[in-house]
Amino acid sequence: MFGRSNTALDVWIIGVLLLLSASSAVSLAKDLQLTPPAIVVSHGLGDDWFNTVVLVTNTMNSAIVLEPNRHFAPEKTSLSPGESTKAVISIESKLIGPRNVRIAFAWSLEGQVQSTEIAVTKEGGGSSVRALRLSTEIDVGLVLPDSSIKFRIPIANDSNFPIVIGSPKTPCECTVPESWPAVIAPQEKEYLTFSVHFPNRNGPYALEPAAFFLTSDPGAPFVSLNLHATVGYQITAEPSRIQIEDLDYREASNFEVLLKGLSSEADLGQVEIVGGRWVKFEEGRPVNGGLQLHFSAKPYSMSSFENSEIWIRSVEGGILSKVPVFLTHDGPVQASPGEVHLLIDGTASGYDETSAPSVDVTVRSKSGPLRILATESDVDWLEIIPVQESGETLVLKYRPNRLLQVGDFRTSTTVKLVGESEEFAVPIPVHFYSRML
């Protein structure tokens, strides 16, 4: 792949085999515009690969197709007339010596294969002066959890030649590029625009990098943007977590949250209960330089239990604080035992119904008399026999109807009940053991 011309000292790197004369290649090369027309590499490169970016523009009146190779990677391979694409140029640094290195890439016009070359030159001494001017360290300060911020970073070209800016890469899906310049003209300024969504947690937060990209700037071929922030709420809530145990079905339980840093109810835009209908916001009033929020909690059925989260929003709609609320309750209906355990001892003669084990399940109601509507089981070997079918205390008998193979089984059952104005579904798991004597 690598060869040296007999008439020049240049080293040629050809990514594809091109059956073209030298005069033909020179005449066609002008039909593609390259920005920059040549690549200048900083002095002192190591043995790693050198990567930079160029802009390839189709200045012809017909569409062309670019052919990628190991040294030339365009973002788009098909270009309409006047269309441009960015392409990454890659070369092993150790091959860039005192002579020019030329990268060749192929393209086709109406089925005819053509070629274009770009020279890679190493500076004779010292490092290249950086032409791009931008801040690569972004200190955001305090941001709200689970929020998004858009950033607009100025980037200036202090040189006298245009600089190509490669397409951004973002290791985290939380970073979304929105506007990215392709080329920055000499002595001009553009903006890198992207948004970042911050996590729903408190504490220091860093994206290193938030984004990175290649450029054609000899002094900055690779640019990385690092972002630092502190994720936290603008106000504090005390307590920061609410735990209510054994919530009574018949009575509401009251609790309070003190907001420090928010002293007027006029500053409070909205109190939103997320994730459950158990909690209700009652009122808020200023207390000792803060704002005291009053809530009540009451379960509405046994089969629909959800923990809650209180969101406190500002007048502008931003989230000021969040307080999780964890509730447990004894419910309107209780089953005892909560899980049925059955042990069956089988004999060689088979299943003996008279000695079959059974477990009585008692269901008690706090919401008035109930009646058994139906019972459901996931298996056909289990009988659920109503013993007391109505009242505030109901009794059901759980019993296997045959001997199963030796083993350890689990299944689910449901007892459906109805009261004066509400239906309940009480889940009761069953753990079944079978053994041979």
pLDDT at 298 over 80: no
How confident is the model over 404-418, as pLDDT tens digits? Answer: 666 777 788 889 988
Confidence (pLDDT) at 379: 87
Confidence (pLDDT) at 272: 78
pLDDT at 326 over 60: yes
Confidence (pLDDT) at 4: 35
Per DSSP, which regions of 60-162 are E strands? Answer: 64-67, 72-74, 78-79, 84-92, 101-109, 112-122, 132-133, 137-143, 148-157
How confident is the model over 221-237, as pLDDT tens digits? Answer: 889 999 998 887 667 78
What percentage of the chain has pLDDT greater than the value 70? 75
Tell me how far apart the alpha carbons of residues 366 and 251 are, in angstroms, rounded to a whole number: 11
Note whether 299 and 331 are within 8 A (CB): yes
How confident is the model over 337-379, as pLDDT tens digits? Answer: 878 887 776 554 555 555 667 899 998 887 789 999 999 998 8
- Supply 298's token pair: 């009451």
Confidence (pLDDT) at 248: 66
* pTM score: 0.49
Residue 402 pLDDT grade (very low, low, confident, very high; cuts 50, 70, 90)? confident
Residue 200 pLDDT grade (very low, low, confident, very high; cuts 50, 70, 90)? confident
How confident is the model over 94-133, as pLDDT tens digits? Answer: 776 666 678 888 888 888 888 888 888 776 554 566 888 9
Q: What angle do CA 58, 64, 65 make, to 5 degrees?
A: 120
Q: Is 286 helix (H, G, I), strand (E, B) or coil?
A: strand
Tell me how far apart the alpha carbons of residues 80 and 116 are, in angstroms, rounded to a whole number: 17
Q: Mean of the pLDDT values across residues 2-21?
A: 34
How confident is the model over 61-106, as pLDDT tens digits? Answer: 889 999 999 888 999 999 999 899 999 888 877 776 666 678 888 8
Confidence (pLDDT) at 399: 87
Confidence (pLDDT) at 303: 43
